[in-house]
Amino acid sequence: MLKADIAKKVYETAHITGEFTLRSGQVSNEYFDKYLFEADPSLLPEIVQLMKELIPEDTEILAGLETGGIPIATALSLETKIKAAFVRKKAKEYGTCKLAEGTDVNGKKVCVVEDVVTTGGQIIKSVQELRKRGAIIDTILCVIQRNEKATEILANEHLLLKPVFTMDFIKSQAND
């Protein structure tokens, strides 16, 4: 499937209409439910085929951020055979008290995986915590970049953002 066709399918799968209260408190008549494309077993592998080409060659671990990055990192791990880690927003306060589950990130070249990036705020927090635990991180992969400013915001933290799609591209394909 072509990239434009996948973008159109992402839009058709995840764009819903109705009345929705956004995180900002504003009410919108449309909503983009990213979990709908992540949970689609026919669409997620198509996205992964595009995304795997963006993984830096020296990557040792794919770190999926809670919650949306985890299914994508898992699918990428299955496709590439690169180990995955599942990163919490906050380390557990019981049991192993880990921030990253699945694979030890200490001293490893880690590529962070996220579903949708708007400003990168949570990515920055997670990367800072992973770096404190010895992870070597310079690349963030995402399926969709919503806001072009995210590239600059993440670059200020020495992070390269590599999106599969921008939201503008997805919307343009949906209207073709």
Binding site as annotated, residues for 5-phospho-alpha-D-ribose 1-diphosphate: 23, 88-89, 92, 114-122
Using alpha carbons, select from 135, 136, 145 the residue that is nearest to residue 54.
145
**Residue at token pair 């920055």:** 124
**Rounded CA separation 93/114 (Å):** 24
Q: Residues forming the annotated binding site for orotate?
A: 118, 146
Please state the residue numbers annotated as binding site.
Answer: 23, 88-89, 92, 114-122, 146
Distance CA 170, CA 176 (A): 10
For residue 27, the 8-state DSSP code is E
φ and ψ of 66, to 5 deg: -60, 135
Integer Cα distance of 37 and 32 in angstroms: 10
Contact 120, 154 (CB under 8 A): yes
